Amino acid sequence: MTVQTLTIIQPDDWHLHLRDGEVLARTVTDTAKQFGRAIVMPNLKPPVTNTDMAVAYKARIDAQGTDLDALMTLYLTDNTTAEDIRAASESNIVKALKYYPAGATTNSAAGVTALENAYEAIAMMEELGVPLLLHGEITHSHVDIFDREKVFIDTKLIPLQKRFPKLRMVLEHITTKQAAEFVQQSDVNVAATITPQHLMYNRNHMLVGGIKPHLYCLPVLKRNIHQEALQEAVISGDDRFFLGTDSAPHAKGDKESACGCAGCYSAPAAIELYTQIFDDLGVLDKLEAFASLNGPKFYRLPVNSKTITLVKEDWQIPSSLDFAGSTIIPLGAGETLKWKLKD
């Protein structure tokens, strides 16, 4: 008998960009309709680099009046100190530090120029059990954009793991077979988030028949063998893989421009997208663990007490949405999904 309704523990989004200012009314509300908590990325202008800034940002998020529990992160820089890490750990507001290689993605100019520059802070993170969230790409111009994640693992991540063997790490928005295998071959203190776009699409979807700017994100979509490896990772049920949308809003004009800003806005239909993916893969029974259980386990938090229900019902993702007076195109715009979140 075909499943027509699915009730799971309320999920969380363990990798989310909300931006700041007027657009919070859109981004926070879209996420709060589905998720109980979210790990909020710190790449604002200026970046969120200390606990006081994180507290202030959380207050702006909370002011939107939703039930979303914003779990804050700090932006790791060359100048982050051990005392900054201790203050963050004691705050109960900041849950992790985010590593961006300088210049890797949106608002990453202030990122770490060399991991060695952050060793003092990372050593304190290892001591206190504060997770390091990694945008795992090399940004050297001579490294092909499709190889940046693999080269990062080989040249930066493996040495980092050897130097700090007890460091708790999340390899964010993984896109390659090598990244999935790195997690699978590591200890329980290493985990990874996987986005809907990297499970649904490969680079052909983005490039064949004309460039699709709303599928452009970083790390960039890879070839189908890597997409299939990520699908196998979620099919496996390994609890070190969990939901992280990397929903990253940019106005339509910023996506459809010479810049072609990197990021997919998946928040409006995120859990429906994941449900469709898991249904298509024949593993609906694995969705709850991936979306609702594995993340809290890694972050040492209780699971949510509420549940959500999805119903088997065709509906169409809107072709566009209001974005603080501008327009934003959601991931999957105009596509028909077979699962819908019940109000």
Active-site positions read 246
**Sheet architecture: strand order including 169-171:** 13-16, 37-40, 69-75, 94-99, 132-134, 169-171, 190-194, 241-243
Cβ neighbors of 2 (< 8 A, separation 6 or more) are 312
Closest by CA position to 104, among listed 178, 60, 156? 156
- Residue 196 backbone class (left: φ over 0; alpha: ψ -120 to 50; beta: rest): alpha
Distances (CA, A) of 129 to 124, 125, 238, 300: 8, 6, 22, 10
